[in-house]
Structure 1
Amino acid sequence: MRNFLNAESYYIRRDTMFRGICLLFLIASTVLAFWVGTKTGFEINNLAEPLTMLTPLSLFLYFIIPIYVCFFTTEGFEYGSIKIILAAGQSRFTYITGKYLSILIVIIWWIIQFFGLFYILYMSAAIISGSNIGNQHLRMDLINAFRVIGLNVLYLATYSALIMMVGIMIKRTASAVVATFLIIFGDFMISGYFREASSAWLRMVSDHTLTTQIMKFSGIYVVNSQHVVLAGTRSFVEVIVIPIIIITICLAVTYISFGKRDIHA
């Protein structure tokens, strides 16, 4: 497993698409830091407030990272490397596990880059401009910020498990990319269109989509002109249990499907 993870890490570091997305997040964090600062001013109530400013914009991650996951999952079929890896003695279980763990490492790296660079630039601008930095509600904002960051890791891992399952089944990159777009935007549309439907069942479906949960913990979910946030034990349990169930099901299906099917790269 360690050798396979090292090989995947080597491939990722030299992947043009990975480098391009790193550059994209670098630019996005830089632009957002100065755009938010010039719009609202660089004065902050506490040291954690820049992170809470960025959390509503974290939805941006879900339109970029899943696409990379799709390419990363199907590259073995596209270029034929999967046959070489399996022929070299790696088990199919190791292959899927190694791919998924590599994806999780990439997700954590990009989230650290996105939030970390924004925070460094925003705080640097606040210090250079001589803006006031307070110490109000630091503990609360710090907890909220790290909770959102942690949930973003969990939900990106959920999308990754779902897209990996689809990619392993479809195998072809072009078709898998189309399926990925349908998954992302389909979930987004279900969350929006069913949100205020007359049917209680449709509202229930909308309320339990991944997009809805992401918008809730990011603080941007609105229903009937009312701002809805995570509140109470039930909402916190739902926001954690839903992705865990999806990850479990998707990985189980992926292991079973990949273990039984012939490889035609």
Structure 2
Amino acid sequence: MNQFHQVQNDIVQQVRGLINREINGQSTSDLHRQATRDLESAVAAWHSSYCRLIKFQRDFIRSLHGWFKLTLVSVNTEPINGNREFSDSFMFCDEWKLALDRIPDTVASEAIKSFINVVHSIYVKQTEELKIKKRTESASKELEKKASSVRSIERKYYNSYSMVGIGLPDVGPDNGNVLDARDPLAEKKAELAASQRRVEDEMVKHSKAVEVTRAMTLNNIQTGLPGVFQAMTSFSSLMTEALEAVCTRSYSIK
């Protein structure tokens, strides 16, 4: 286990050198967000498995230690019937129990739990970005709907004048593109212009949200992920040393 965590730690340290080189980053999709949610669930399951592993190992050796103490060893720890084998076995079990009790497993547990929070914060930021994206798309559709309506009304309005041979009101070289107050489309065109500004505002917000999400994701991964594997490498190293010492002690039991 320790060897694998050392390799993982060496690989993960390389994320510190990652740089966001994309000026216009790719926006978050539903697939991206689901992948982040899956990662959060996987890390949470990892944390749960880690805690259960430590608990089950300690529960096992404590039960075995208690069985030895109550069944094979008297209150004053003298071997029953003078059998030294039971005493050696109990001492081995006692050292095994102490070794597991002394291992600092909390640091690794907290590191994994902290990374769960890191991934969750990325998920929340992606969700916010997607909401802005959907607002932008909705505003764009509304703009297109209003633009289509204005074009349709314009065609009917201009055609009605041309059919009776009447010139359009206040349309001439002096007026250019200025809307006349008597223009029946003035209100519609004002609404269209407002919709256009709203779409532009939402597009700016979405572009900014993409940048923020991407920067936060990279920063959180760079600061959060290496710490997890550093803690796991340290924990597994201490676990290996403790169990090797216990195993060495077991070789002396005959």
Instruction: Indicate whether the TM-score tops 0.5.
Output: no
Query: TM-score scaled to structure 2, two decimals?
Result: 0.27
Query: TM-score scaled to structure 1, two decimals?
Result: 0.26
Which protein has greater RCO, CA pairs closer than 8 Å, 6+ apart? 2
When Rg is computed on C-alpha atoms for both structures, the one with the higher figure is 2
